[in-house]
Amino acid sequence: MKSIIKASLIISISLFGVSGCSAFKIYDNIRSPEALGSYYQDDKTKSFAWNVGAYAGYPWVLSDHTYDKSIDMMVNSTSYAMNLTSDLGSALAGGALGLGAGFIGGLTEGYPLKPSEVWTAKLENGETYNQSRVIERFIINNFKVRPVEPDDTPKIKLRLGMIDINKITCVENKPYQYTHECTLPGVSYSTIYITAARPATGEEFGKILNLKPGRYGVFLTRNESDLIQKDDAPDVYFYMKDGVYKSGKNTLPLISPREDGKRLVLIDGKAELL
């Protein structure tokens, strides 16, 4: 039991640094995304989580923590793998190990990735990923108006009732940090900022996203609207929570590759080295 706790602590410290430094760097909030328009080439010297940020057009925002050899012991044993899953979750949530989210500050850290999602969306025949009409269709397909909540004021309820998502309008927003700004005309609190980053094949993240090869667009979305993701959204996305990237039941920590190049991920909650 002591060895499990010790290994867990080592991993948690390697995740966040002994000094309490975050995995994020602070940069100018208006820096524009990079390398837009080209298919993404996986940087195998970086974690999958770091690659999500670069895939979205922001390779300078995240940094990896050093891979610790104690992770091997936990991944190679079924019981240890289960323990790794549990300990990563509790550590990153600021749980019993006490080494989690407290080291991650406000939105200036990890910006613009932290408050955003990174989508891989299927393109239809004849579509180009950065066309405004394509982005509008993407939003209509994947988002819906949020439900009315008990503490909503009559004014908010009226606003929600006015929303027709089919009227979403996206315009190019260069040279600002995002490539497009999408709004519902005449409706306040209806803005979604989009970075249309690049075309994709669907194979960039392998079994993590488990997409069929095809034609896709990569969109970073910063949502400041009354729209929320549909439960049955047809497209897939990464989102950041407690300093890791998640997609469905899969978790991508910011841990650099092992010496042999294999990278730590949690697939359906089970630790694996890919």
At 154, list the tokens. Answer: 């009559």
Asked if 105 contacts 99 with a C-beta cutoff of 8 angstroms, the reply is no
Q: Which of 7-16, 104-113, 240-249 has the lowest mean pLDDT?
A: 7-16
Residue range 159-201, pLDDT digits in tens: 999 899 999 999 998 656 899 999 998 888 889 999 999 999 9
Residue range 71-119, pLDDT digits in tens: 777 677 654 444 454 445 443 333 322 223 222 333 346 778 888 999 9
At 144, list the tokens. Answer: 């819906």
List residues bridging with 62 in a β-sheet.
24
C-alpha to C-alpha distance for 175 and 167, rounded to whole angstroms = 25
Beta-strand relationship, 190-200 and 264-267: unpaired
70: confidence class by pLDDT, cuts 50, 70, 90: confident
Going from the C-alpha of 21 to that of each of 16, 69, 122, the distances in angstroms are 6, 21, 38
| Residue 262 pLDDT greater than 90, yes or no | yes
17: confidence class by pLDDT, cuts 50, 70, 90: very low
